[in-house]
Structure 1
Amino acid sequence: MTKKAFNIMHGGDYVPLYNRLKEYRARIGVNQQEMGRLSGVSRQTISQIERGDYSPSVTLALKIAKVFEVQVEDIFWYEEED
């Protein structure tokens, strides 16, 4: 699980977006380059998402989830701070 998270806007506040992309990539045995090809982006974009330096668009998050045949929420989630 990525510890660092990209902050997204939710309800007027910024909340961290977490992801399990690296974990899911490992499950199917693909590197960042191949993951980028499968989802239509560069290796660098996959790397940035995994590090929490880049928040994917809804379209990209859906494409990534489709590669793994899971729901977007299985890979990406946010936690609101109290």
Structure 2
Amino acid sequence: MITLLTRPGCHLCDDARTIVERVASDVGEPWEERDITQDEKDLAEYHDHIPVTFVDGKQIDFWFVDEKRLRTALASR
């Protein structure tokens, strides 16, 4: 499972979402997007690092999504 942490109005999040959607579609992987402004703990922990990308709960990127790293993380599970 891919998890993408975002917040409204974040242009980097928009770019990250595009990459995550493409990779998830290509490999048939489910993904979810979580708005950090909806959870105080997420907001406190990630407020200046978004977007943040996780694969199966393990953080693999922040600020940008590296498509190659995301694909590698998914393939190496």
TM superposition score normalised by structure 2: 0.28
Larger CA Rg, structure 1 vs 2: 1
Structure showing the higher strand proportion among its residues = 2
TM superposition score normalised by structure 1: 0.27
